[in-house]
Structure formats: C-alpha cells, structure tokens
Amino acid sequence: MSDFRDRLMLSRRSALTVLAVGAAGVTAAACSSDNKSGDSAQGSKAPSDPDATVSYSPPLDTPDASPIVEVSVKVADGVLNPDVQLTNANGRVVTGVMSEDRTSFTVTEPLGYGGQYTWSGSATGNDRRPVPVAGTFSTVTPENQIGLVVNLADGQEVGVATPLILTFDEVVTDKKAVEQALKVTTTPETEGSWAWLGEDGGSRVHWRTKDYYQPGTKVSMVAKLYGLDHGDGYYGEADVTSDFVIGRNQVVIADADSHQIVVQNDGNTLMTLPCSYGEGDLDRNVTRSGIHVVSEKHEDFYMSNPAAGYFNVRERFAVRISNNGEFIHANPDTVGVQGSSNVTNGCINLSLENAEQYFATAMYGDPVEVTNTRIPLSEEDGDIYDWIYDWETWKSMSALAGEPDVKSAPATPKDAPDVSGIPTTPQNSGSRQTPVG
C-alpha cells in the first residue's frame, strides 16, 4: 500500500515537471519570436508623417513680397483651425476670412511696405493629427513712392468736355502697368480712352471721351495703384478713386470774326454777347482757335502781363479757358469796341454786366469753341488741350496702344501772361486704403 502511494506521487511529480518544462518552452518560443520581430522594426521603420499638408502664398521666408498679391494659407488632407492668423511686426492681427470648408484662409486687407508678417495657428489632418501653421515673410521696401492728384473732387458736377486728369508727382516709366490699373465706368456707357500727355516734373494721363458727354452721365474711376510697380523702383503710394457727374450741356460758340460769343444750352441759344478777341498783331495777342475747356473762375482776379506792360490789374468775373492766360472776363476799357473790333491781348473781353451774366452760368469742363484766328490751340497752351486731337490720334497716345511719343511741354509758354489766383475747383487727392504697416 505504501509502495503504491509512493509510485503515484512520483508519477504526479514527473507530470508536473513535464508540464512546467513545456510551458517554459512555449513561453520561451513566444518571447523569442516577439524579440526577433521587434528588433527588425526598430532597424527599418520610421513613424508615419501626418496627412495634412500646409502651403503658403507668398512662400515662407520671401524677403520682398508685393503687398497686393494674394496672401493666404491652405491645407490639403485636413482643415485649418480657428486659431489661424497673420500678424504684423507690432502684433496687430491682419483681417482675413476662412473658407467655408476650412481649407484656406485669405487676407482681405492690403499689407504695408517693408513689413514682416508672421503666420500662427494650426491645422488638423484627416488622421486627426495636428500640424502647425507657422512662419514669416516680408514685403518689398520701395526705393521711392509715387503719389498723384486728381483734377476733380468727388461728387463734383462738371461740363460735357471735362477730361479726367491724373497728375503724378514723379515720372512713370511703366505706363502700361499703370494704365492697366485704371478703370473708368460711365453710366450711360460712353466711349473714352486714356492718353499720356506732356511731362513737366511728373507724368500726366488724361481720360477723354470720343465726343462730348451726354448730360447727366455718371463717371466713376478706380486707380488700383498701391503696391504697383510704376517702374524704376517707384511704387504707388495709394489707391485713388474719383466719382463725378456731368451737368447740363453748355457750349460757348466763339467766332472771332463775329465779335461776339453765343452761349448755347442743349443747342438752344441762352445768350449772345458782344465781345472783343485778341488783336492778333503779335502771336502772344492771338486768341487760340480750338476747343478750350473752362478750368476755373473768379469774381475778382489780378492779372499781370509783363510783355504787354501791365501788372496786378484787377479784372472782374474772370473765367479761365486755358493756362496760357486766356480768360473770358469783364474789361470796361474795351466796351467801346466790343461787338465790332478785336483789340485784346488774347482774352475775350465782355462788358461788366455781360461778364457777370456769363460767369453765373460757367462750369468747370464747359467747352469754348474758338474759331477764325490764325494760331491754333496746342500743347504749349497749358494743361487742358485734349480736344486738339482727333479721336484716332488720341487713342494712339494710350500706353496700351503702344508707347506714346510723349513730348515734354511746359505747362505755360515762356511769353504767356504771368497770372495768379486761387482755383475755385477743389483738388481731390483721392481716397486711400490704409495698409497694415
């Protein structure tokens, strides 16, 4: 009985030993397999990259980006988070808008010249892994900036021959680029064209219609010049706009042989006034033939003409029709010959009563059509000589029709009267967008 019990216990111990060895063998085999696989992965496989890919416009680290190009950040295979923003060097957040699908964020205000801008925020990929939005770029620092003056004030009512004039304070060498940035809209639609005229310290570009405007026409001009390279390292100082309206259709018919002027409104005679034109004995005393444009008027104006021997003579109800010293104004000294003889130094003289009557109706941009004198109006007779050109010639002076043959013409000829006065027409420097500096 004891011998049987001893053999039974020996059998149990042997079985347990076998099981223990078997289990250890299985465990060892499993561990050996795991270790072998782990060693191989650590030697050849790197962590996977996030799904989301972020791109920037302009590219990061750009040193001289234009402040008017598209500025944006975009993500592929993911979305941008609400914390995305662009800030300037002072920490000011630049205004921008997120797309509905949150794949792009675009800046909506102009940047400043010579500034550094910083992206910040994050994106989330389709794999739910975050990707930073970060980096900087800088905008161009212009060597020089060009500003301009517009001849018309916003909301001004003007005559049917009015040209829109942009006068730059420096010479524009890339006229094509600048002209492409100018847009004129008219209601009703009116055919017109830009033309580059004489340069005197700066460039001038005029927009003129083919024919006189229709009364009531609304005109709007937008010049997207800020950030635009004008050539030779000059960039636009600001965007400029001008909005004006055309008034009644008044034309002055000025036939020198008739010794009178006829003021017409929509083709109907408003008044016929006896006058005296330039004597014509000397070139400087010839009233120029051609379409003049009223540019300013003064109830009192002090005129000087050294060549004719008079200085600071007070004249009443003076309406300027060119910058060479030609006015329609009152002159009591010539009343005796007004209506019968031409004796002036080039102006059109009226009686005091008639001058005041005409003065009350005159408006900037009215055409004064002078005929039958021996010298035509030319580019040497001031700033507004636009109507001396036929339509095809005018269009050829557009930079977009080929580089024009720009002549350097003085604003006032050397022998013109030395006149002084304060223009009644306000000058509009244009509306400006304030960039983010």
Give average pLDDT by consecutive 10-residue segment, the chain, 437 residues.
43 38 36 37 54 97 96 98 98 98 97 98 97 98 96 97 97 97 98 93 96 98 97 95 98 98 97 97 96 98 90 96 96 97 97 98 98 96 94 97 46 38 36 59
How far is the C-alpha of 183 from the C-alpha of 166, rounded, in Å?
Answer: 12
Token couple for 348? 């059109």
Q: Using CA atoms in the order 258, 262, 267, 270, what is the torsion angle rounded to 10 degrees?
A: -150
pLDDT at 433: 52
Q: Of residues 206, 292, 298, 329, which has the active-site annotation?
A: 329
Domains in the chain: ranges and CATH: 53-138 (2.60.40.3780), 144-246 (2.60.40.3710), 250-388 (2.40.440.10)
pLDDT at 156: 98
Strand-by-strand arrangement of the 164-168 sheet: 148-150, 164-168, 204-209, 192-197
Q: HSE of 157 in the Cβ direction (CA atoms, 13 Å)? A: 9
Q: CA 410 → CA 124, 211, 355, distances in Å?
A: 64, 27, 30
Q: Is the dihedral of CA 150, 151, 152, 158 positive or negative?
A: negative
**Residues listed for the chain:** 437
pLDDT at 47: 62
How far is the C-alpha of 256 from the C-alpha of 143, rounded, in Å?
Answer: 52
Amino acid of residue 51: D
Q: Any idea what DSSP says for residue 279? A: -
Are 431 and 312 spatial neighbours (Cβ–Cβ below 8 Å)? no
Question: Residue 345 burial (CB < 10 Å; 0-12/13-18/19+)?
Answer: buried
Nearest to 365 by CA among 246, 254, 261, 195: 246
Map tokens 């847009």 to a residue.
183
Are 179 and 194 spatial neighbours (Cβ–Cβ below 8 Å)? yes
Are 121 and 49 spatial neighbours (Cβ–Cβ below 8 Å)? no
Are 320 and 346 spatial neighbours (Cβ–Cβ below 8 Å)? no
Q: Of residues 230, 292, 298, 347, which has the active-site annotation?
A: 347
Question: CB atoms < 10 A from the CB of 23, how many?
Answer: 10
Omega into 58 within 30° of 0, i.e. cis? yes
Map tokens 């500025």 to a residue.
71
Is 347 among the catalytic positions?
yes
- Cβ-Cβ contacts under 8 Å for 111 (sequence gap 6 or more): 65, 67, 68, 71, 88, 94, 117, 139, 435, 436
pLDDT at 199: 84
Nearest to 267 by CA among 160, 125, 118: 160
Farthest-apart Cα atoms in the chain, separation: 170
- Cβ-Cβ contacts under 8 Å for 274 (sequence gap 6 or more): 259, 260, 338, 339, 340, 350, 351, 354
Is 329 among the catalytic positions?
yes
pLDDT at 198: 84
User: Phi and psi of 259, rounded to 5°?
Assistant: 55, 35
